[in-house]
Amino acid sequence: MEKIVFLDSASIVADVRRPKFDHRWEEYPATAAGQTVERLRDASIAITNKVVLDRDTLEQLPQLKMVAVAATGTNNVDIEYCRERGIVVSNIRNYSVHTVPEHVFMLMLALRRNLLAFRADVLNGEWQKSPQFCLFTHPVRDLHDATLGIVGFGAIGKAVQQIALAFGMQVLIAEHKGAAAIRPGYTAFDTVLRDSDVITLHLPLNGQTRHLIGAAELEQMQPGALLINTARGGLVDETALLNALQSGRIAGAGFDVLEKEPPAEGHPLLDLNLPNFILTPHIAWSGRAAMQTLADQLIANIEAWAAGAPQNRVA
């Protein structure tokens, strides 16, 4: 009988049904690094959203047969080691193709139309003192006819493109950074940086994409441009972002992710009190319908593995 251990069940808010084959089920709302090995000691299937399963941990778990990742990103699992050991790793795919794009456009609209700045003005009594019916204290920029650069053109990137076109935006799809050739329908990475009014990131975090956007890339962006990141915090050099925002090098940024989550008190981006910077606590993916889709696919992945036909494999 397989034993299934869910290491961080509180990371999703959904009805997680039990697999239809005989099994033992054990779950923990959260698991600290020092608890992982003991909790997985006799498990054959591990479920993790963000709990790290690195090589040192996996080497102590010879009975482990499958890792079911309750997320799309798998950077918390040593995929190479799992392949060496024959441990199947499956992830979740295409579950957030509505909720993440909606969050992207929430951030984009709030920043382009200076929502936070105008709200602060109203709370501070500026509208009440206005000599006319409206207040022109901040510029309002439409999305219509603005250029959106999409970096990462998977399912979410494609969904963002559809919404952007509905707004009347011009859309550029970025080619891989440093690519020798440009695929049909794509635009050189540096050109996207230079020509976009808004850049939105939809990439996994790995060795090739870490700090994809740093000081040099921010320098190439237009002074009036926005940077949106609802993917992974490590895609952007946070020190470079802070400098760009404080110096006015770019017009603003909307982030749903940070490099270390949860962030420690005193993180400079937590304390950045600027109306052109919006930080949300990694919730772009968490629409209730999306989380239920994730939960259903998670168990379907485990059942497919148990039936001898693994799906959504990354290892």
Please give the single-letter amino acid code of residue 300: A
DSSP, residue by residue, 184-195: TT-B-HHHHHHH
Q: Please give the pLDDT value at position 311.
A: 98
Radius of gyration (Cα) for the chain, nearest Å? 22
Please give the single-letter amino acid code of residue 178: G
Q: Please give the pLDDT value at position 68.
A: 98
Q: With the C-alpha atoms ordered 20, 24, 25, 31, is the resulting torsion angle positive or negative?
A: negative
Superfamily name with CATH number, domain 99-279: NAD(P)-binding Rossmann-like Domain (3.40.50.720)
Task: Print pLDDT tens along the chain (315 aa).
Answer: 999 999 999 999 999 999 999 999 999 999 999 999 999 999 999 999 999 999 999 999 999 999 999 999 999 999 999 999 999 999 999 999 999 999 999 999 999 999 999 999 999 999 999 999 999 999 999 999 999 999 999 999 999 999 999 999 999 999 999 999 999 999 999 999 999 999 999 999 999 999 999 999 999 999 999 999 999 999 999 999 999 999 999 999 999 999 999 999 999 999 999 999 999 999 999 999 999 999 999 999 999 999 999 999 999
Tell me yes or no: is domain 2-95+289-306 CATH 3.30.360.10: no
Cα distance between residue 28 and residue 170, in whole Å: 46
Cα distance between residue 275 and residue 42, in whole Å: 51
Q: Please give the pLDDT value at position 249.
A: 97
Cα distance between residue 128 and residue 113, in whole Å: 20
Cα distance between residue 187 and residue 154, in whole Å: 16
Q: Please give the pLDDT value at position 25.
A: 98
- DSSP one-letter code for 9: G
Phi, psi dihedral angles at 157 (to 5 degrees): -60, -40
Domain ranges of the chain: 2-95+289-306, 99-279
Segment (H or E) for 227: strand 226-229
Tell me which residues are annotated as active site: 232, 261, 282
DSSP, residue by residue, 97-113: TTHHHHHHHHHHHHHHT
